[in-house]
């Protein structure tokens, strides 16, 4: 049984949702239970990251047992609003209960990530805007995943969508810069997504969704990328 690189997105999603899962390891540097797993479906194998809700450590500023839902909410917003930055993610039952299951991304190991994340790259700029929208409190260098094709993904979105402004990121290169017309149009897409009945209501609180809408409105009103706040640390620590 082997991984098939020619699988369609539909096949991958079906496998992530319903394939047989076997835990094969653990990412020991993660603060919450972050498990490496294989999913077997119809003669092929997918490698994924499995984050069971039961393995989430309590946080003082996020409700207990909500991080997996935030991971899935970030994926939904990324996909529905054409950011396409978050690897395919589902919520499902696994060996240790319900959790977020995300497709594994093979990172381009030839890159110097300390140098890479400081580049003026369109995909990183798009990620900076995405983080401002979802209020990402933990965009570290290690959460940026460029693959060998040049596509860039972002992972670890469990601490997003807080109702209070908590943006912490290493992607401040574009702070204060004007948003392009394309970026403003993408904010319109996010607004349309938020005004239509959707799945976020099952994943986030009413207050968090209202704050999300307010952040989008603020970005449209200022027409600029946000700047670091003086009221809280602007960069997660450690940054990697």
**Taking the model in full, what pTM does it have?**
0.95
* Strands 144-146, 152-154: pairing kind: antiparallel
Q: What is the pLDDT of residues 114-155, one digit of tens each?
A: 999 999 999 999 999 999 999 999 999 999 999 999 999 999
Q: Contact at 8 Å (CB) between 152 and 124?
A: yes
For the stretch 71-114, pLDDT in tens is 999 999 999 999 999 999 999 999 999 999 999 999 999 999 99
Residue 1, pLDDT > 70, answer no
Residue 38 tokens, joined:
């294989």
* Angle, CA of 90, 102 and 92, to the nearest 5°: 35
Q: The domain 9-222 is classified under which CATH number: 2.115.10, 1.10.510, 1.10.10, 3.30.1300?
A: 1.10.510
Report domain extents, the chain: 9-222
d(CA 14, CA 115) in angstroms, rounded, equals 37
- pLDDT classification of 5: cutoffs 50, 70, 90: low
Cβ contact 153:87 at 8 Å = yes
CB atoms within 10 A of CB 146: 20
pLDDT at 186 over 70: yes
Question: What Cα–Cα distance (Å) separates residue 203 from each residue in 84, 91, 94, 163, 196?
Answer: 19, 11, 19, 14, 15
Q: Are 66 and 74 spatial neighbours (Cβ–Cβ below 8 Å)?
A: no
Q: Which residues of 198-226 are buried (b: 16+ CB within 10 A; e: fewer)?
A: eebeebbeeebbebbeebbeebeeeeebb
**Cα separation, 68 vs 204, whole angstroms:** 11
State which H helix or E strand residue 22 sits in: strand 20-26
Asked if residues 133 and 219 have their Cβ atoms less than 8 Å apart, the reply is: yes
């Amino acid at each position: 049984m082997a991984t098939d690189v020619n699988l369609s997105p539909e096949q991958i999603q079906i496998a992530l949702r319903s394939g047989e899962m076997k835990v094969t390891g653990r990412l020991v540097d993660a603060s919450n239970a972050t498990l490496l797993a294989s999913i077997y479906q119809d003669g092929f194998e997918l490698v994924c990251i499995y984050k069971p809700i039961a393995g989430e450590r309590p946080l003082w500023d996020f409700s207990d047992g909500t991080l997996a839902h935030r991971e899935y909410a970030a994926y939904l917003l990324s996909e529905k609003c054409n950011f396409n930055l978050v690897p395919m993610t589902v919520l499902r039952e696994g060996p240790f209960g319900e959790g977020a299951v995300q497709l594994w991304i093979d990172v381009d190991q030839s890159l110097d990530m300390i140098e890479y994340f400081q580049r003026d790259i369109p995909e990183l700029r798009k990620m900076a805007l995405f983080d401002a929208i979802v209020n990402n409190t933990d965009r570290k260098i290690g959460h940026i995943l460029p693959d060998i094709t040049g596509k860039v993904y972002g992972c670890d979105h469990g601490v997003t969508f807080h109702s209070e402004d908590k943006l912490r990121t290493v992607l401040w290169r574009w702070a204060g810069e004007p948003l392009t017309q394309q970026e403003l149009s993408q904010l319109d897409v996010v607004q349309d997504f938020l005004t239509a009945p959707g799945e976020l209501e099952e994943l986030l609180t009413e207050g968090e969704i209202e704050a999300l809408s307010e952040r989008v409105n603020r970005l449209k009103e200022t027409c600029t990328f946000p700047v670091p706040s003086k009221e809280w640390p602007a960069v997660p620590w450690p940054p990697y």
